[in-house]
Structure 1
Amino acid sequence: MNMKKIFNIITILLLTVFTTSCLDSNLEDLDTYKGKDIIGIAGVYHRYYGSQTIPGSGEQQVLQSALSYDNFQADAETGTSSFECKLPSNFPAEERPKFTMSNVVVSLNISTAAMIQPIDGAAVLGKPGDWSKPNKYEITAADGSKKVWTITAYFLQE
């Protein structure tokens, strides 16, 4: 064997020994998050088709306008939450007559490491959905515990 091969073999053996660990005790226990709550609203939007087409695909442009939202309330004991939204003053004039709460995009903030899933036909978060009625969601905490929340959006006319 030449010297280069011996050096490579010794290097690989040393890397194998030094990059492994035999430590299997005295590790600190990490917290498992138990939170399964709705913390707040991340955004409320209205999506619509623009007048231009996208050059690469030839599809019609999709635009999004943020709605104003306020008065977020959450009751962890009853699993209910609500918020109010309205069209802001800079909302596109041509979209105002077309706006309906049955086609709104909502994003929520939830507890750390939790997952949320729509139930009973609720709107899928982050996609246009029907917010003209209360929506139910099941939130699963990192520890596996679950809680059902009912969220109601109120539209305020200007």
Structure 2
Amino acid sequence: MKKSILYLFLLLTSFTLGSCKMGLDDLPTFEEAELLNFWFEHREVVEKTAPDGSKYEQVVFTDLKEICSFKQLGESDGYVQCEVVVNTQASPKSLDMSNIVGKATISTAAYIQPIDGSPQLGGLGNFTAPTKYLVTSADQNNAKKYVINVVLK
């Protein structure tokens, strides 16, 4: 009896482990390390009044993607030089580029990190001077450095 249970266990184990790869496609390897777009989001704290008359603060988010245009200008000194032109005429608010949120679109499954003291994307940061970012591919075999220069028009 113990022998038949052991054989049954071995049979099920070999079937389970042997079928792990059967019929499955390999997952794609993502080799790109591209910065595809860059724009800003304006965040402002606004004081509001509740129905009971009490005061509270609310953060208002304004996505500025539609008034930002991004382009890559070429490579220089090991960096891809990029420009973000912000149309301040179309901005709903006066922009303070020393206290604004940067956002980016990058290659599938890649990751981006600030370098040389540049602000973290997704949080408030200073974009009055050129900022630098490193985009690394998902397979970690490719990486590119980018410099972002903001132009207000």
Deviations 1:28-81 (A, max 9, x none): 43331111010113x4222111012789xx862111223353431125755221
2:69 maps to: 71
**Cα gap change, 1:77 to 1:20, in 2 (>3 Å):** farther
Tell me, in whole angstroms, the C-alpha distance in 2 between the residues paired with 1:91 and 1:102.
Answer: 17
- Secondary structure of 1:33's counterpart equals coil
| Pairing 1:151–2:152 present | no
1:8 maps to: none
Contiguous gaps of at least 5 residues in structure 2: 1-8
Contiguous gaps of at least 5 residues in structure 1: 1-12
| Pairing 1:109–2:105 present | yes
1:121 CA drift (Å): 0.9
The 8 Å contact of residues 72 and 81 in structure 2, kept in 1 or not, is answered as: yes
Greater strand proportion = 2
1:6 maps to: none
Residue identity in the other structure for 2:125:
G
Deviations 1:2-31 (A, max 9, x none): xxxxxxxxxxx8xx76x9341347854333
1:134 maps to: 130
Tell me, in whole angstroms, the C-alpha distance in 1 between the residues paired with 2:99 and 2:119.
Answer: 9
CA RMSD of aligned residues (A): 3.2
2:83 maps to: 82
In the alignment of these two chains, the number of paired residues is 134
The 8 Å contact of residues 101 and 155 in structure 1, kept in 2 or not, is answered as: no
- Secondary structure of 1:106's counterpart equals strand
**Cα gap change, 1:81 to 1:27, in 2 (>3 Å):** same
The 8 Å contact of residues 139 and 147 in structure 1, kept in 2 or not, is answered as: yes
